[in-house]
Amino acid sequence: MSTIPAQPSLPQYPISDLYLLPNYGDRAAYVAAVGNQAPPFNPALPIKGWADPAPDGQPYNFFDGTSPSTGYVIQLPVPAAAAVAVNLPGVYDYPAYVEAPTGATMRGPYGMVSPVLPNTLCLQTEAQAIANQVAPLYPGESVIVADGSFVGIFQTVYPADEPRRQWILEVGGKSFSWAEAWIAAQNANGVGAPGHWALAPIPGDIVTTPMLQWIQDSPVTVAPPNAITLPVPIRPLLPNEEIELVPPPNPLFGTATWIVVRTDMPQPPTITLAQVQQLVAQYNAQPGVTAIPIPD
């Protein structure tokens, strides 16, 4: 949940102390903190380790070390659909597709003939979604969803608590297949696994007539070389705060670091490069020591 972090009672503190939201470095950290896996990685979007559970379309404040004129803080809008979820590289475990059992039965003039197999049942909305997806592959032909509950003198009878039906896809006025068969094919590698519909010969089949198939696509799990990482939103700076690039306590060790500085508190002393050069020169002047280069 987004929170306004309290101001630390310290002369200096890391920019992470301004974060409005938790930031997860990888998918394992997200699972450990949240208890479920992060959504599949989308390489078309920036890498993003934070999620706002209730975005309202407002722009976010971000640290930007290239914007001194704004105090190194910029504002950027993030669409709610992107703000609400993390986007982390790595493997997503697509859940297995399971067809729920049914109490539906096939009945004829003399009563029940047989139970109905659940792999023939789906919701009408699910069947229509498949029809809409495959329709572009059949230009000039109608692709519709038809009720397959009646076959001659036989009729499928559904329990009151069964919302699914035996929907059939019809292409060009001809019955094609149970819609559920294509739903199952689409989810054969897990619910939501990437792929696309295509008309192509079935691999290994001697018949070369193009057939409707669901072709699995390899999921992208590694960020592209030019991927950017969206920083974590921060709270606005207070009047007694500044972001500064502070040199390390000893220029011989470490690198400069971006930190938040309290302008109303005394700052710790730092050693200058000139002082380090003087100390090194004094050390090298001692007899019996191995001289070290003087930094410049």
Q: What is the pLDDT along the chain (296 residues), one digit of tens a residue?
A: 567 899 999 999 999 999 999 999 999 999 999 999 999 999 999 999 999 999 988 899 999 999 999 999 999 999 999 999 999 999 999 999 999 999 999 988 877 778 999 999 999 999 999 999 999 999 999 999 999 888 778 899 999 999 999 999 998 878 778 999 999 999 999 999 999 999 888 777 776 788 889 999 999 999 999 999 999 999 999 999 999 988 776 656 667 789 999 999 998 876 666 766 777 777 778 887 777 776 66
Q: Which of 225, 270, 230, 264 is nearest to 246 (CA)?
A: 270
Contacts of the segment 70-75: beta carbons below 8 A, 24+ positions apart:
71/237, 71/242, 71/243, 72/243, 72/258, 73/234, 73/236, 73/237, 73/243
Predicted confidence at residue 251, as pLDDT, reads: 59
Q: Which of 283, 284, 278, 276 is nearest to 247 (CA)?
A: 276
CB 37 within 8 A of CB 92: yes
pTM: 0.76
Q: Which residues pair with 146 in a beta bridge?
A: 168
Predicted confidence at residue 62, as pLDDT, reads: 97
Where do the structural domains in the chain lie, given as residue ranges? 21-92+219-233, 105-189, 237-296
Contacts of 110 (CB under 8 A, 6+ apart): none
